[in-house]
Structure 1
Amino acid sequence: MAKNKTTETEINVIDFINSYVNNDQKKKDSFRLIELMKEWTGFEPKMWGPTIIGFGSYHYKYKSGHEGDAPIIGFSPRKAEFSLYVFNPTEDNKHLLDDFGKFKMGKSCLYIKKLSDINTSTLEKLCKTTIVYINEHHECACKEK
């Protein structure tokens, strides 16, 4: 079976942002996202793969037998836009996107240009419903919180 590319690394998050992000507003937004996600999860930020900043972790296992670990929530300050890994769509939380702000939906993430384009209280609700979902459906470090 193929090895997961996105695993937790020892790279320093602050060093990553300072060396990878070349836009002052994106740097400021990255540090603000770290503050918020750390507060909402109770976990310190860790690097996952080369560009994802994640908070906490959980273990997943698919019916196919593929399994691995992933951050509970996280983001990546990609060159064009932020990728936010904060949303597991369910019938109970899809309505939150109505008040989220300016974003695009990806397969497993939400894309935003800058933090001021979105409603951060809605982001908090999305993150917290995702934490609850992962806690209920996976082996999760969030159960210890």
Structure 2
Amino acid sequence: MPDHGDRRTTRTDADVEAFVASVADERRRRDAQAALDLMRRTTGAEPRMWGASTVGFGSQPYRTADGKDRDWFAVGLAPRKAALTLYGLTYDGSNADLLARLGPHTTGKGCLYVTRLDDLDHDVLAELVARSWARNHREDA
């Protein structure tokens, strides 16, 4: 079993739907619900809360710089104030072909930041999630 050490962002039993419904900004709440539905359909998995404000799907092991084995979600989302953050979609500069067709976004290490989900090509987003899920998710993790 992976060590969670002192990490605050670990898998919890909190209610995902209640969390999304509690997002104060109406547009961000709608975007989060739409992204949640798309990820659920695309992965075939049920979401879980990770910490107090991140929704994750599936599981993947990883090793930290200090050599500890950890557990993390394969793909996920967080409705942040500035943007909807989609996790696990851009590791190591991957998926440049899909990102070029996606629509307005910015990226970080493994993250995709979206201001308006409606501005994206949802078919491309679903393909991005499917590709990332296939690469990241481990059934035995």
> Normalised by the size of structure 1, how large is the TM-score?
0.83
SS of equivalent to 1:14: helix
Q: How many residues align?
A: 138
Aligned equivalents of 2:58, 2:93: Cα separation in 1: 25
What corresponds to 2:116 in structure 1?
A: 114
- Deviation of 1:120 after TM superposition, in Å, equals 1.2
Contact 1:13 1:53 in 2 (8 A): yes
Structure 2 gaps, min length 5: none
Contact 1:88 1:133 in 2 (8 A): no
Distance 1:31 1:66, change over 3 A: same
Contact 1:86 1:126 in 2 (8 A): no
Percent identity, aligned pairs only, is: 32
Partner amino acid, structure 2, of 1:79: K
Equivalent residue for 2:34, pick from 23, 32, 35: 32
- Deviation of 1:62 after TM superposition, in Å, equals 4.4
Aligned equivalents of 2:40, 2:63: Cα separation in 1: 26
- Deviation of 1:63 after TM superposition, in Å, equals 6.4
SS of equivalent to 2:110: coil
Contact 1:4 1:68 in 2 (8 A): no
What corresponds to 1:4 in structure 2?
A: 7
> Normalised by the size of structure 2, how large is the TM-score?
0.85
Q: Write out per-residue CA displacement over residues 80-132 of structure 1, whole angstroms, 9 at most, x where no aligned residue.
A: 11111131446773211110110111123110012112111111111111122
Structure 1 gaps, min length 5: none
Contact 1:45 1:53 in 2 (8 A): yes
- Deviation of 1:72 after TM superposition, in Å, equals 1.0
Residues 128-143 of structure 1 mapped to structure 2, 5 A cutoff: 128-135=130-137, 140-141=138-139
What corresponds to 2:59 in structure 1?
A: 57
Say what the alpha-carbon RMSD is for the aligned residues. 2.2
